[in-house]
Chains A and B, each alone.
Chain A
Amino acid sequence: MERAPILKLEHLGVTFPNHPVFSDLNLTIRQGEVWSIIGKNGVGKTTLMRTILHQLRPTHGKITYLPSQKDVTIGYVPQFRNIDADYPLTIKDFVGLNLTGWKLPWLSTKERAKVTKILDQTGLKQLAKRPIGQASGGEKQKAYLAQALVEAPNLLILDESTASLDPVTKTELLDLVAELNQRLNLTVLFVTHDIPMAQKYTQHYLMLTPSGIEQGPIAKLTTEKVWEGENV
């Protein structure tokens, strides 16, 4: 049975003053799919993600969230966060920051349970009381992931979030994302320059290049194709 689409990009284009970033992008992303978004620096990968996140308005075309905009909730994990090493913010508190709203300053029992559950799912339960500023690179990325997932989004964007990690930690994090994808039917957009990781962990690719846009099943993304136009 074909999976239901959750995101449809039609003739999408973003132009900054005198500088078209990308144009005529057509893409359908279905529930539970894992896509890698690749392309060298400056081709518009982050611009595309910011457009999907409603932070930028497309210049052309449109994005449709299906079945409706309120049904598609997005979690975003960036590569870096500007967090002071001395902040008295434990990993548990950091994850709980994402539980906002016009509510009392402290978390309710239900909200605390949500945080505990996601810490458990991301393997951070033992590190819940560690200050986020003192966590290792891999632990921080896991904490960013847990924060993005605490509100149970159905679309997760990993924006070069494994770029600064060593190979073992990178694999650990992506194994975790793959497991969550399977268990929660989470849709994942993985922005990366790491082609072997994209080939191992994703099912589809979208390659942005200065000359155009290419997409397809990840099996068709050969190293030759990537290097042809120095595309990553």
Chain B
Amino acid sequence: MFSYEFMRNAFAAGTIIAIICGIMGVFVIARNMSFLTHTLSEIGFSGAAFGVFAGWAPLNGMLLFTVVSSIIVGQLSARSERREAATSAISALFIGLGILFLSLANKNASYATSILFGSVIGISASDVQQMLWLSLFVLIVVFVIYRFLKFDSFDHTGARVKGLWTNVLSITFLVLLALSVSVAAQIVGSLLIFILLTLPAATAKYFAHTVGGMMILAIALALIGVWSGLVLSYVTNFPVSFFIAAIEAIFYFIALGWQRLQTAE
């Protein structure tokens, strides 16, 4: 399997994605942003389609759209009571735009499928390098603002009282999330990216005792999902995103069951 360059690239990319999603996912769960993450992934699809239409690499189109829209989404949905409605409206608009750009670019359905559901064979060494730099940037920013982000994510009231710039933090986080979505979409596709950004962390929440522990467990679960998904996809020739989605969902349901047992005791 590792004799093929595309598989080596896919494993390298998958490892980077699992680490970034494990860490960012903890904050996505703490900030109740699963739905928003789903929207960003749809915006990513639209961006990739725009990239194809404009003759760019899909990742660059994704980066442009997700980063710009994350700032707009952050502004529109600063008030939580209108977050759901604003997110739905933006989501609908961007899926429509994605379809339009694909149509204008004269690309067929299989091209749309690879953007939506990801592709293992399409990842080159230079893609891996670009993902690595983007991920390092995200990790460094998270490292620098970690204490502020943790306070605001796990105790928003306390952070506001402390006088932290919670709006600036929120937008910074959304931009980091947009970058993570663009990076991770390369393998699992834009439609299923929220799986890796939500399920490993949501599962880890039930087993970990500290935020650091939740992060390590979320990374481990994401790694297991991505690596196993890649192997199973290689062996069976079925889409990798299906296996990753199934494995992460199984982990999550096991965690829910375990939690119920704990509560019942």
What is the minimal beta-carbon distance from B219 to any residue of chain A, in angstroms?
14
Q: Using Cβ atoms and an 8 Å threshold, which residues of chain B touch A53?
A: 161, 163
- Tell me whether A97 and B210 are in contact (CB under 8 A): no
Chain B, residues 115-154, CB within 8 Å of chain A (1/0): the string is 0000000000000000000000000000110111011001
- Complex alpha-carbon distance, A103 and B214, angstroms: 21
Q: Does B83 sit at the interface, judged by CB under 8 A?
A: no
Question: Is the CB–CB distance between B211 and A93 below 8 Å?
Answer: yes
Q: Are A101 and B211 in contact (CB under 8 A)?
A: no
B30 with A87: CB separation less than 8 A:
yes
A-B contact count (CB 8 A): 68
Q: How far is the CB of B220 from chain A (nearest CB, A)?
A: 15
Q: Is A31 an interface residue (CB 8 A)?
A: no
On whether A100 and B147 interact (CB within 8 A), knowing A54-B163, A87-B205, A88-B205, the answer reads yes
Q: How far apart are A112's CB and chain B's nearest CB, in angstroms?
A: 13
A82, A83, A84, A97: the one contacting B151 at CB < 8 Å is A97
Q: How far is the CB of B4 from chain A (nearest CB, A)?
A: 38
Task: Assess the A97–B155 pair: CB atoms within 8 A.
Answer: yes
Q: What size tier do the contact residues of chain B reach?
A: 20 to 34
A86-B157 contact in complex given A54-B163, A100-B162, C-beta closer than 8 Å: no
Name A77's closest neighbour in chain B (CB-CB): B161
Cross-chain contact B156 with A93 (CB below 8 angstroms): no
B residues in contact with A137, CB < 8 Å:
none
Complex Cα distance, B22 from A160, in Å, reads 38
Q: Does A138 contact B (CB under 8 A)?
A: no
How near does chain A come to B100, taking the closest CB pair, in angstroms?
Answer: 39
* Residue in A closest to B163 when the chains form the complex, CB atoms: A54
What residues on B are CB-neighbors of A131 within 8 Å?
209
A86 and B30 CA atoms in complex are apart in Å by 10
- The DSSP consensus for interface residues of chain B is helix
Say yes or no: is B160 at the interface (Cβ < 8 Å to chain A): yes
Q: Are A97 and B161 in contact (CB under 8 A)?
A: no
Interface check A90, CB cutoff 8 A = yes
A90 touches B209 (CB 8 A): yes
Task: Type the 1/0 row for B10-38, where 1 means its CB is closer than 8 Å to any CB of A.
Answer: 00000000000000000000100000000
Which of B30, B143, B144, B161 counts the most A-chain CB atoms under 10 A from its CB?
Answer: B161
Q: What's the minimum C-beta distance from A20 to chain B, rounded to whole angstroms?
A: 25
Select which of A55, A83, A88, A106 is within 8 A of B155 by beta carbon: A83
Extra A-B contacts (11), CB below 8 Å, given A80-B157, A87-B30, A105-B143: A53-B163, A55-B160, A76-B161, A86-B259, A88-B209, A89-B154, A89-B210, A90-B210, A100-B162, A106-B212, A147-B158
